[in-house]
Amino acid sequence: MPPLTDDKIKFLTEKAADIRSSIIHMLILAKSGHTAGPLDMADILTYLYFHALKHDPKTPSWPYRDRLVLSNGHICPVLYATLAHAGYFPMETLKTLRTFGSILQGHPHRDFLPTLETSSGPLGSGLSQTVGMALADRMDHGRSSGKQFYCLMSDGELNAGNSWEGAMLAGKEKIQNLTVIVDRNNIQIDGFTEDIMPLNPLTDKWRAWNWHVQEADGHNFRDIDRVIGEARAVFDKPSVIIVHTIAAKGIPEFERKFEWHGKPPGTPQEIETALKALDDIRTMGGKVASPHHN
């Protein structure tokens, strides 16, 4: 990876603000979809597609690309927005989110958007899919194919047992070029994760399956760069990064409220609130003013 300079951080900050803006405009037009997860993962997706990933928007099926699997498919607005900003398809296409026949389905679907590595929606399945892809790559090319495999997951989906089956297999096989990024925003559709099904001690659980475990501030590009770099330097086990994020990051009135897990801004007041927050972010040069308490 290239070094993360001050100029690059400024670029990433502004790009993440643009992506958050695209997410909100998509959701308002669609009148359905998820708000909290897409907003809080905008910095992670921005960092990956505009700094860390080896990929080529002009040749999406380039065989030497890194692979990214979005296991928590319901946050696909952030993936779609990031792909559009990266040049995979026209920005105008974002206006078709969740419309009949659109390539931008409510959950990622490869039949509609072949740029995707997988279709996703059933929570908990993405890690097993990514482990299978990484093992197949090892069978074809050995341990030094040069590809990195990333799986993005939500904390709530760790309630699904298949997640831990994938974690156990990856640890057993010592898949060193696999990195899981868990969005620890502490919410899910019915409430707060620790009320619905407590996950802590989360780091101990991953270590028990022979994973290299790190934690990071999911809204700090230097911290994200640090943990991604360390994950790439581990050669005897897979890595998991638990990124602490603020649900609905960027719209203070929505932040940390589980009610925004699965709905878009709908009322005139909600829409006005969201759009004003986005305007404030642009005024600040892409910087999000809300404090981070994690």
What is the model's pLDDT at position 278?
A: 87
Structural domains of the chain, with CATH: 6-283 (3.40.50.970)
Residue range 90-146, pLDDT digits in tens: 999 999 999 999 999 999 999 999 999 999 988 999 999 999 999 999 999 887 788
Residue range 27-47, pLDDT digits in tens: 999 999 999 999 999 999 999
Residue linked to tokens 């010592």: 174
What is the model's pLDDT at position 64?
A: 94
CB count in 10 Å sphere of residue 38:
28
**Residue 89 pLDDT more than 90?**
yes
Instruction: State the amino acid at position 72 in one-letter form.
Output: N
**Residue 79 pLDDT more than 60?**
yes
What is the model's pLDDT at position 143?
A: 76
Pairing of strands 178-184, 149-154: parallel
What is the model's pLDDT at position 4?
A: 97
What is the model's pLDDT at position 176?
A: 96
Q: Is the CA virtual torsion 118, 59, 112, 153 positive or negative?
A: positive
Please say whether the beta carbons of 255 and 249 come within 8 A: yes
β partners of residue 150 = 68, 179
What is the model's pLDDT at position 294?
A: 36
**Residue 290 pLDDT more than 50?**
no
| pTM, rounded to two decimals | 0.95
**Residue 22 pLDDT more than 70?**
yes
Residues 266 and 27: their CA atoms lie apart, in Å, by: 9
**What is the residue-averaged pLDDT of the chain?**
95
Residue range 47-67, pLDDT digits in tens: 999 999 999 999 999 999 999
**Residue 292 pLDDT more than 60?**
no
What is the model's pLDDT at position 255?
A: 98
Please say whether the beta carbons of 152 and 41 come within 8 A: yes
CB count in 10 Å sphere of residue 124:
20
β partners of residue 245 = none
Residue linked to tokens 């700094």: 51
What is the model's pLDDT at position 76?
A: 98
Give the chain as a 3 state SS string: CCCCCHHHHHHHHHHHHHHHHHHHHHHHHHCCCCCHHHHHCHHHHHHHHHHHCCCCCCCCCCCCCCEEEECCHHHHHHHHHHHHHHCCCCHHHHHHCCCCCCCCCCCCCCCCCCCCCCCCCCCCCHHHHHHHHHHHHHHHHCCCCCCCEEEEEECHHHHCHHHHHHHHHHHHHCCCCEEEEEEECCEECCEEHHHHCCCCCHHHHHHHCCCEEEEEECCCHHHHHHHHHHHHCCCCCCEEEEEECCCCCCCCCCCCCHHHCCCCCCCHHHHHHHHHHHHHHHHCCCCCCCCCCC
* Residue 276 φ then ψ, to 5°: -65, -40
